[in-house]
Amino acid sequence: MKGIRRLAQHLDISIGTVSRALNGRPDVKEETRKRVLEAARQFGYVPNQSGRSLRQGTTNIIGFMIQTGSEITGQGDTFFMSVFDGVQEVFARHKLDLVALLCSSQEDPTEYLRRAVARGFADGLILSATRRHDPRVELLAERNIPFVTLGRTLTDAGQPWLDLDFEGMAQASIDRLVARGHRRIAITLPHNDANLGYVFVERCRQALSAHGLILDESLIFRSTPNEAGGYQIGRDLLALEERPTAIVLINETIATGLYRALLEAGVRPGADIAVIGRHSPQANFLSPSLTCFRLSLHDLGIALAETLLSSMPAFAYHYPDAPPNRLWPMELVEGESDALQAHQF
Amino acid sequence: MKGIRRLAQHLDISIGTVSRALNGRPDVKEETRKRVLEAARQFGYVPNQSGRSLRQGTTNIIGFMIQTGSEITGQGDTFFMSVFDGVQEVFARHKLDLVALLCSSQEDPTEYLRRAVARGFADGLILSATRRHDPRVELLAERNIPFVTLGRTLTDAGQPWLDLDFEGMAQASIDRLVARGHRRIAITLPHNDANLGYVFVERCRQALSAHGLILDESLIFRSTPNEAGGYQIGRDLLALEERPTAIVLINETIATGLYRALLEAGVRPGADIAVIGRHSPQANFLSPSLTCFRLSLHDLGIALAETLLSSMPAFAYHYPDAPPNRLWPMELVEGESDALQAHQF
DNA sequence: CCAGCGACCGTAAACGTTTACGGAACTATG
DNA sequence: CATAGTTCCGTAAACGTTTACGGTCGCTGG
C-alpha cells in the first residue's frame, strides 16, 4: 500500500477525504484536516505528480526554455540565475514550480518545444532568445498554451511579451555620443537573427538620421555574443582605414574582449575611443570603467512571471493590471569609457 | 477523442497495438508499425507524459538541481550551460530529457529536493554545489533514487560522484610557487561550507608542510565567490602588514575583481605578486594573462551523465566500465600572472 | 485432418490522483 | 415529531498510458 491509500488506511478514512483535506477543500472537518496534515508530514507524503496532473490536466509547472551551449544566446549563467530568482519569487506565492527546459545545442528548438508541450509537461512557458522569425510562438499560440516571451518577434501572435528597451538604449546612446561630437559611431550586433539586433540597428539608424547623420554599414559589427566575439570586433575595428570614434555594444559579454583588443593595440577606451555597453557582473571591474546600461534582472524576472500569470485564467485575477506587453527600461550608468569628446581629435 | 485513442480510431486498430507500435515492441506487424508511426507524425502525437509515467513509474527525466540567485554557487557565466550541453549529449542517446530543477534562494534546498522526489518528478538526479554536510545525499540515498553529485561531501552515502581535482590543483600550485621561491602564499576559499574549500585548504597545508612551510591562517581569504568577492580579497590583501608574494584562487569568477583591486593600487599581477587561478571565459581577456587551471566543461558533463547512467539499472549495461567516482583533472595553462620569482624581492 | 506453434492483435486492468455524486448523521425549524 | 437543511465523508469514475493475458488466424509437420 502506497501513496494516498497508505495514508487513508493509517487514518482509517477514505482516500477522497485525504485528498480533500490536503487540497484545502471546504467540506472536511477541521479536526480531520489537522490529522491528515499531521500524518502527511509524518509520512513525508507528497501527492504523486503524474497521478495528479493526469487527473486534473495541470502540472503546476512552468517551463523556462533556454538553449544550452551558451554561444547562442550570449547570456551567461548569472543572467538567467538572477531572472529565475525573480520569477520564482512570484511563482512561490502560487505553489508553482519553475523548471528550466534545456534545449541542447544539437537539437532544433522548435522540435524540442513541440515535444515538451505535446507531453503536457508544463502549464505555461517562458521563451527567451527569441528570433526574428520564431516558429515557437506560432506553435504555442495554436496549441493555446499560455506563454510569455522575453523578446519580441516579427511573428508575434498576440501573446504577452517583455522586452528590454533596446530602442531606448539606441536612442540614448546615439544622442549622447552625437552631443559629444561623435560622427562616426560603430555598433555591434549578434550575428544570428535574434530580434533584438534588428530593433537596435533600426533605431540607431533613425537616431543618427535625426541628427543628419547616416549609419555607415561598414561600422556595423557582427559577432558571436561572447568575449571572443568582442575581441574579434576590436581587431576588426582597429583594422579599419577610417576608425570610428565611438562604439555601442549591444551584448553584455563582449566588453571584456573588446577592451583586451583595444588595450593590446594601445587604444584606450574613454581616451582614444568612446565605448558604451551593457552592464554585467564583470563590468564593474573593467578599467577604465564601462559606461553601460543596467537593469535589475531580479525585477525583470518578477515582471516576467506576473505577465505570464496574468494571461493564465487560473491566476489572472491576482494581477489585474499587469500590462500584457512591456518595454523594460535600462538605466545609464556613467563610467569613464565614453569620457572623450570627439572634437578632442 | 484525444491522444492515443484518437490515433487508434483513425487507424481502426486498438490502442494497445498503437502503443506497442510506438514503443518498438516486437509483436506488431511491420506494416502496422509503419502506419502508426506515419499517423503519429501526421497528428503530431506524442504520448502524454503523465499517463505514461503513471503507468510505468518512470518519467524519462533527469533533474539537475541548481540554486538560483547566483551568489551561492559562484560558478561563472557559462559554467552550467556548458556542462548541461555535455550531459545532454549523452542523454539524447537514451531519449532522456534533462531539466534543471531550480531551487530559489529563498527556499531550503533539502526541502525543495524532498518535494521533487516525493512527487516522482525525475528518474535520476544530479546534484551540484555540494556542502560539506549535505543532507540532500542522505535523503536521496534512503529514498533509493539514482543520483550523482558534482562534488564530494563528508556524508557520502556510496553514491557515485565526480569532483574537480582540487587536490591536484592545490599541490601543483603550491609546488610551482615554492619552486619559484615563494614562502608567503595566500589562498582563497568560498565562505560557505562548500566541500571543495575544505579539500583545497587541507591539501595546500600538506603541500606547504612538505616543503617545510606552514599555511599562515591570516593568508586564507574567504569571500563570496564572485567578482565583488575578488575585489574585497584584493583590498584585504593589500591592507596586510606583511603581504604575501603569491595567491591561489579557488573560484573562477574572482580573478577579475582581484585584478581590479591590485591594479588600482598599482600592484601588478605577475610582476609584484604571483596569481594562479581558475580558467573562465573572461580569463583570456585579463591582462596580464592569468595562469590558471582549465578543464573541458563539456567533457565533464559527459562524464557526469555516464556516471549517473551507469548507476541506473536500466542503462548500466551501456556503460560497463564507467568508474563510480572520479577526480576530474584540470590542466595548467601558463600565463604571465605568476611570472615573477620571489627572490626578485 | 489435427495438434501445435508463431505471429499478430484486442481486452482490460493497473498506475495515483481528484472530484462529482450521493448518502448518513446531525441540527434547526416548524 | 416530521421535515428541511447542513456538514461531513465514502464511492466510484475518470485522466492517458502500458502491458499481461488470452484469443484468432494461418501455417507446418505428422
CA distance B174 to A342: 50
Beta-bridge mates of residue A137: none
Q: Say if residue B121 is in the same domain as residue B207.
A: no
Q: A335: closest CA among A257, A211, A249?
A: A249
CA distance B167 to B200: 6
Domain holding A86, by residue range, is 61-159+297-328
Q: pLDDT at residue A231 above 80? A: yes
Instruction: Assign residue A225 the CATH number of its domain.
Output: 3.40.50.2300
Task: Inspect the interface and report whether the beta carbons of B92 and A70 lie closer than 8 Å.
Answer: no
Q: What is the pLDDT of residue B236?
A: 97
Q: What is the dihedral of CA B299, B125, A308, A106, to 10 degrees?
A: 30
Task: Inspect the interface and report whether the beta carbons of A92 and B106 lie closer than 8 Å.
Answer: yes
Q: What is the pLDDT of residue A32?
A: 96
Chain D bases having any atom below 7 Å from a protein CB: 7-12, 14-20
Q: Say if residue B97 is in the same domain as residue B123.
A: yes
Kindly list the distances between the CA atom of residue B287 and the CA atoms of A82, A169, A287, B260, B261, in Å, as whole numbers in the listed order: 28, 30, 11, 10, 13
Asked if the structure places residue A55 within a domain, the reply is: no
Distance B20 CA to C9 C1' (A): 10
Q: Say if residue B144 is in the same domain as residue B24.
A: no
Q: What is the pLDDT of residue B64?
A: 97
How many CB pairs below 8 Å do chains A and B form together? 169
Contacts of A76 in chain B (CB under 8 A): 76-78, 81, 281
Task: Inspect the interface and report whether the beta carbons of B104 and A88 lie closer than 8 Å.
Answer: yes
Q: State the total domains in chain B.
A: 3
Asked if the structure places residue B261 within a domain, the reply is: yes
Q: pLDDT at residue A271 above 80? A: yes
Asked if the structure places residue B68 within a domain, the reply is: yes
Asked if the structure places residue B80 within a domain, the reply is: yes
Asked if the structure places residue A283 within a domain, the reply is: yes
- A42 CB near a chain B CB, below 8 Å? no
* CB-based contact A301:A273 (threshold 8 Å): no
Q: pLDDT tens digits for B228-280?
A: 999 999 999 999 999 999 999 999 999 999 999 999 999 999 999 999 999 99
3-state helix, strand, coil in chain B (%, to 5): 45, 15, 40
CA distance A228 to A232: 6
Task: Inspect the interface and report whether the beta carbons of B107 and A89 lie closer than 8 Å.
Answer: no
Q: What percentage of chain B exceeds 90 in pLDDT?
A: 84
In chain A, which ranges are E strands? 61-67, 97-103, 124-127, 147-150, 161-164, 185-190, 220-223, 246-248, 274-278, 291-294, 325-328, 331-333
Asked if the structure places residue A98 within a domain, the reply is: yes
Cα of B26 to nearest chain A Cα, Å: 24
What integer best gives the mean pLDDT of chain A?
93
Closest CA in chain A for residue B88 = A104
Q: Say if residue B146 is in the same domain as residue B194.
A: no
Task: Inspect the interface and report whether the beta carbons of A84 and B75 lie closer than 8 Å.
Answer: no
Q: Say if residue A139 is in the same domain as residue A181.
A: no
Q: pLDDT tens digits for A297-317?
A: 999 999 999 999 999 999 999
Q: B-contacting residues of A 123-152, CB under 8 Å?
A: none
Q: B-contacting residues of A 222-261, CB under 8 Å?
A: 226-228, 230-231, 253, 256-257, 259-260
Q: What is the pLDDT of residue A74?
A: 52
Q: pLDDT tens digits for A203-218?
A: 999 999 999 999 999 9
CA distance A188 to A193: 13
- Which candidate in B6, B53, B67, B84 is best for mutational testing of the A interface (most A CBs within 10 A)? B84
Q: Say if residue B234 is in the same domain as residue B335.
A: yes
Closest CA in chain A for residue B48 = A119
Q: Say if residue A117 is in the same domain as residue A72.
A: yes
Asked if the structure places residue B178 within a domain, the reply is: yes
Q: Which residues make up the interface with nucleic strand D when CB must lie under 7 A?
A: A 12-17, 20, 27-30, 32, 51, 54-55, 57; B 2-5, 15-16, 19-20, 22-23, 45, 47-48, 50-52, 54-56
Within 7 Å: CB of A4 and strand C? Answer: yes
Q: Say if residue A302 is in the same domain as residue A284.
A: no
Burial of A290 from C-beta contacts in 10 A (0-12 / 13-18 / 19+) = buried
Q: Say if residue A213 is in the same domain as residue A335.
A: yes
The shortest CB-CB distance from A285 to any of B51, B88, B227 is to: B227
- Which positions ≥6 away from B18 have C-beta within 8 Å? B4, B7, B8, B11, B36
Q: Say if residue A220 is in the same domain as residue A337.
A: yes
Distance A175 CA to C13 C1' (A): 72
Q: What percentage of chain A exceeds 70 in pLDDT?
A: 97
Closest CA in chain B for residue A298 = B69
Q: What is the pLDDT of residue A342?
A: 67
Residues in chain B, pLDDT under 50: 72
Distance A304 CA to D14 C1' (A): 35
Q: What is the pLDDT of residue B343?
A: 62
Q: What is the pLDDT of residue B193?
A: 85
Instruction: Assign residue B28 the CATH number of its domain.
Output: 1.10.260.40
Q: Say if residue A79 is in the same domain as residue A151.
A: yes
Asked if the structure places residue B116 within a domain, the reply is: yes
Within 7 Å: CB of A8 and strand C? Answer: no
Q: Say if residue B29 is in the same domain as residue B133.
A: no
Burial of A226 from C-beta contacts in 10 A (0-12 / 13-18 / 19+) = buried
Q: Which of A67-81, A198-212, A238-252, B284-298 is predicted with the least confidence, judged by mean pLDDT?
A: A67-81
Distance B31 CA to D29 C1' (A): 29
